[in-house]
């Protein structure tokens, strides 16, 4: 199969590696020659590391490399069966590229976008045959993260959806099909991990280290929310939150936090700037958490129940199936358990009473319990 990738940055080069490893003939296109050169050098390094780790041999490395060619005109992608676009997150630029691309490729070529925040419907509208357009959303780093969200727009044909799911499954990825709504699954459902942690900090309940310690020790998360925000970058993470908040017509559940805004404004971006919620300079010592199990349990429960509420509401609004929502969080962001399975384990009655307790305490709409949880509780149902 011939696959054209548009944009050879972080995501495009990773997606190219995935497709080439699966045996596809890949053409990686970028307007910037330096970006193409960088992608080629980066792939060489990655494959050498995989050889050192014993994951692949020299023959496999040569095979993967020979499956990728680096091209500098869009027309070179004309023989593609599938194209995946991973350029700058700008609707007008994407639309221009899509419309030009459509004039070169065959009628049955699937034209996909890796966008994180734009609607697939708006991108598809740039095509003469919008039914061939779909969202195929990889996670960073694409070769390592198992999850790919596949997002049909309202214009997408069933055939294009089925074919896309098949291709991505053949690439050995876990597919979660999501409705074309802000944040799709992961970037929507994960918001309380950051937002509720920031709120707990802002209320003075605990410091960054103690909140992180609680989520890791009691919850089994690999990274605490503040460590993760520092890893992602406070500028990037804040922008995603603000975009989702705006896209949901300012639903207070997604409201960004001033704390994070100030950190971003101050240039305390996290690891990449050497300072965020933590200090990453060479001799810095990490502050110790207050290892109070009762406090930690309270913090963990509050973040968890807000995550569960978000996952339940995504199911309630038919954003994805229960299984896809759980796969999305375990395979896209490495959560220790699927949130809906976690809800079953904790008990739906527990979820409802925790959420109602928060709502009664604050009388804020962000703590409203999903109607689905309430209905399930009445009917004594579980998610699985
Ligand atoms: N970085 C992430 O974690 C992540 C995760 C999932 C999805 N995405 C989405 O993937 C897309 C790309 O993100 P990225 O982080 O790889 O960006 P990036 O900045 O690393 O790479 C973008 C590349 O596109 C090239 N480019 C820009 N305009 C172009 C054009 N008109 N034609 C061809 N090439 C062009 C640039 O030269 C650059 O090499 C965005 O839509 C983003 O929302 C990013």
Domain boundary among 126, 143, 177: 177
CA of 6 to the centre of ligand 1 (A): 9
Report the chain's mean pLDDT, rounded to a whole number. 97
Q: Which residue has the tokens 């692949």?
A: 56
Q: In what order do the strands lie in the sheet with 68-71?
A: 68-71, 25-29, 2-6, 82-85, 110-113, 133-138, 147-152, 174-177
Supply the CATH number for residue 234's domain: 1.10.1040.50
Query: 193: which residues sit within 8 A by CB, 6+ positions away?
Result: 215, 225, 228, 303, 307
Residues designated catalytic: 116, 137, 149, 187
Asked if residue 86 lies in contact with residue 118, where contact means CB atoms within 8 angstroms, the answer is: no
8 touches ligand 1 (CB under 6 Å): yes
Distance CA 337, CA 5 (A): 33
Domain match, 235 and 259 both:
yes
| Per-residue pLDDT, 286 | 87
With the most atoms of ligand 1 within 8 angstroms of its CB, the residue from 4, 9, 95 to mutate is 9
Distance CA 181, CA 151 (A): 9
The pTM of this model reads 0.94
With the most atoms of ligand 1 within 8 angstroms of its CB, the residue from 4, 32, 73, 86 to mutate is 86
Distance CA 281, CA 177 (A): 41
Domain match, 116 and 200 both:
no
Distance CA 197, CA 303 (A): 7
CA of 11 to the centre of ligand 1 (A): 6
Domain match, 172 and 196 both:
no
Domain match, 132 and 63 both:
yes
Q: Could you tell me the CA-to-CA distances from 166 to 175, 246, 283, 318, 340 in Å, in that order?
A: 9, 33, 50, 22, 26
**Domain containing residue 103:** 2-177
CA of 128 to the centre of ligand 1 (A): 24
DSSP codes joined into one string, 227-259: HHHHHH-HHHHHHHHHHHHHHTTT-GGG---HH
Domain match, 141 and 211 both:
no
User: Taking the alpha carbons of 363, 367, 372, 374 in that order, is the dihedral positive or negative?
Assistant: negative
| pLDDT < 70 stretches in the chain | none
Domain match, 133 and 258 both:
no
Asked if residue 85 lies in contact with residue 112, where contact means CB atoms within 8 angstroms, the answer is: yes
Q: Could you tell me the CA-to-CA distances from 21 to 68, 131, 382 in Å, in that order?
A: 10, 28, 40
The alpha-carbon radius of gyration of the chain (Å, integer) is 22
């Amino acid at each position: 199969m011939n696959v054209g990738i548009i944009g050879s940055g972080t995501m495009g080069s990773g997606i190219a590696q995935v497709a080439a490893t699966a045996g596809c003939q890949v053409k990686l296109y970028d307007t910037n020659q330096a970006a193409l050169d960088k992608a080629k050098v980066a792939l060489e390094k990655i494959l050498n590391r995989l050889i050192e780790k014993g994951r692949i041999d020299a023959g496999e490395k040569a095979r993967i490399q020979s499956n990728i060619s680096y091209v500098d005109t869009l027309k070179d992608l004309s023989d593609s069966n599938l194209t995946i676009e991973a350029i700058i997150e700008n609707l007008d630029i994407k639309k221009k590229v899509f419309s030009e691309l459509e004039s070169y490729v065959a009628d049955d070529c699937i034209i996909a976008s890796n966008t994180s925040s734009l609607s697939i419907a708006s991108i598809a509208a740039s095509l003469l045959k919008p039914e061939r357009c779909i969202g195929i959303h990889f996670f960073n780093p694409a070769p390592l993260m198992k999850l790919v969200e596949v997002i049909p727009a309202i214009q997408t044909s069933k055939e294009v959806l089925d074919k896309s799911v098949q291709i991505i499954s053949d690439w050995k990825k876990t597919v979660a099909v999501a409705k074309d709504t802000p944040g799709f699954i992961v970037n929507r459902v994960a918001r309380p991990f950051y937002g509720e942690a920031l709120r707990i900090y802002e209320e003075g309940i605990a410091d960054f280290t103690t909140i992180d310690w609680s989520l890791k020790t009691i919850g089994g998360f690999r990274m605490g929310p503040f460590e993760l925000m520092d890893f992602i970058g406070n500028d990037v993470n804040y922008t995603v939150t603000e975009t989702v908040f705006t896209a949901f017509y300012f639903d207070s559940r997604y409201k960004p936090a001033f704390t994070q805004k100030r950190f971003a404004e101050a240039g305390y971006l996290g690891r990449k700037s050497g300072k965020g919620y933590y200090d990453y300079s060479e001799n810095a010592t990490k502050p110790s958490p207050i290892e109070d199990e009762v406090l930690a349990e309270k913090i963990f429960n509050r973040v968890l129940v807000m995550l569960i509420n978000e996952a339940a509401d995504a199911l309630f609004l038919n954003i994805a199936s229960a299984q896809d929502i759980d796969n999305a969080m375990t395979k896209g962001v490495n959560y220790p358990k699927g949130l809906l399975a976690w809800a079953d384990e904790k008990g739906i009655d527990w979820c409802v009473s925790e959420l109602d307790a928060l709502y009664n305490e604050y009388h804020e709409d962000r703590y409203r319990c999903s109607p689905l949880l309430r209905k399930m509780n009445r009917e004594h149902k579980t998610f699985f």
